[in-house]
Chain A
Amino acid sequence: MTWIGDNLGLIWEQLREHLYLAIVPVILGLIISVPLGYVATRYSWLANPLIAFGGILYSLPSIALFIVIPAVLGTKVLSTVNIIVALTIYTVSLLIRNVIDGLRSVPPDVRQSAIAVGYGALHRVVAVDLPIAVPVIFTGLRVVTVANISMVSVGAVIGIGGLGELFTLGFQKDFLTPVVVGVVLSLTLALIADLILVSLQRILTPWARVATPVGEVA
């Protein structure tokens, strides 16, 4: 326990780094997936290959990505950019499917009336299609956020891993406390992030929770 007290500064630092390394890729991934998914619904032949490609990317071992990326991008091995790029790739590969499914979940008659009332193409996506896709997109967002939070730790192997660095520390010194602290904080972080996303979704989609009418009364 004294270890915790003595290392509060370090723990806090790693926690902040962990959060940063996990969340930035989620945001970047979302920014990339939405237009990509939109393009895939416009040119529907693109959708299935994209989803399949995403599946392949997602199955790549993270450790391999962390090591290959510096070689490809020419970044320093110890740069946070590597982790962020790798996790952004994971985020996009997973989220693309939800964005496409979400945009496809817009009922055809709703899309038809959106066109007929006079929404321009871009305006329609922002004002009609995306809001309706929010529940499906958020399902993916929750999965990917939790996955990212756990995957950041793997980065510790190449020296940047947020709370994962506490694991390395513990293993090196054959000392359990930092490992436990790392696990507990990492789980807590995932739990809180998920709670925040659930609340955000509820705020964004009040219409998705309403009761259906009882019987037909004109």
Chain B
Amino acid sequence: MIEFEDVTKRYPDGTVAVDKLSLRIPSNQITVFVGPSGCGKTTSLRMINRTIERTSGTISIDGDDINGRDAVTLRRGIGYVIQNAGLFPHKTVVDNVATVPKLIGWDKRKAHSTAMELLERVGLDVKLAERYPAQLSGGQQQRVGVARALAADPAIMLMDEPFSAVDPIVRHQLQEELLRLQRDIGKTIVFVTHDIDEAIKLGDNVAVLRVGGKLAQFAPPAELLANPADDFVRGFVGQDRGYRALTFVHPEALPVQPLPDELALQDGVPLGWRNGSEELLPVGSVFKRGDSLRAALDAVLTSPTGCGVCVDDDGKAVGVIDQSTVAEALRS
């Protein structure tokens, strides 16, 4: 656990970037710092590896004040990923990844083989290992950045807007891969972004900061969407928060109705809707029992008949749900 207690950062020019921040970042989860530009996210993050020194307050890792440790040693135990990856242009991809293992004195062969494994792990072709960073695309560089941060197997990884500079499609892939990777590695990840959607997608917990480095709310994404602490948070999570919040609503049992005759099936799997002509109308999106309310709403909205189809794990239709049922669930 990383703990901030009354942490303040005042820059020499008098700017108070972070003001009496107190929060607990749980281990083995992704905690996202989100907030508008200039609200002190980067400052807060970089105080953890002491690349920025706090002015007052304490930051501790598993109970030990980080100021009690040598800064350079501390940093070698904390992975760090930034927006444009910040790869060393004069080192090959594999040497970039092997940087920290070499710094902490692993023998060359072990550092190299670990680096190669990590490249595969973050989804990079190992053929790229001997290339230089300038030869890679932005998305590939970002993957190398993640591999470099993980190379010496640190317990903590800090990520500062790591996916902000790549195009939306690549960003989406990188986000999915981070979640997949995190399921395997279970690091304590502190992730900074200005993008609330990214925060909600990635965070187990989200810390919303307001300008002046004040904590507005610290909560899991569902809680944030359902109960914004104040107008600032409400405004920041956005107008469509109601719809987004449905992602986190799992109705215990939506009352499904029996399958209507209009639904054509093949071995139980929905094929389409009959409407009197030869051709079937598309089924629309389907949802599973136990899916979120958002999935059910999507099914209703995309079905040509206004009836969303519920399927089991094998994809066989088990029932349908109509608009009024969803509306009912939404009201409750």
Contacts and interface: CB of A to CB of B under 8 A. Distances in A.
A5 interface: no
A218 B132 CA distance: 16
Contacts of A206: 132
Given A109-B86, A132-B90, A116 B80 contact: yes
Nearest to A204: B90
Nearest to B71: A118
A205 interface: yes
A112 B86 contact: yes
Nearest to B133: A207
Interface of B: 46, 49, 51, 72-76, 78, 80, 82-92, 99-100, 103-104, 131-132, 134-140, 143, 148, 158, 166-167, 169-170, 173-174
Contact of B131 (A118, A210, A217): A210
Contacts of B136: 213
Nearest to A116: B80
Given A116-B49, A117-B100, A119-B103, A215 B83 contact: no
A218 B75 contact: no
Nearest to A113: B86
A128 B90 CA distance: 8
Interface of A: 107, 109-110, 112-120, 128, 131-132, 205-208, 210-213, 215-218
A218 B170 contact: yes
A74 B169 CA distance: 72
A116 B149 CA distance: 10
Contacts of A113: 80, 82, 85-88
B51 A112 contact: yes
Contacts of A213: 134-137, 140
A207 B51 contact: no
A210 B91 CA distance: 12
Contacts of B74: 118
Contacts of B137: 213, 215-218
Contacts of B138: 216
Contact of B82 (A109, A120, A216): A109
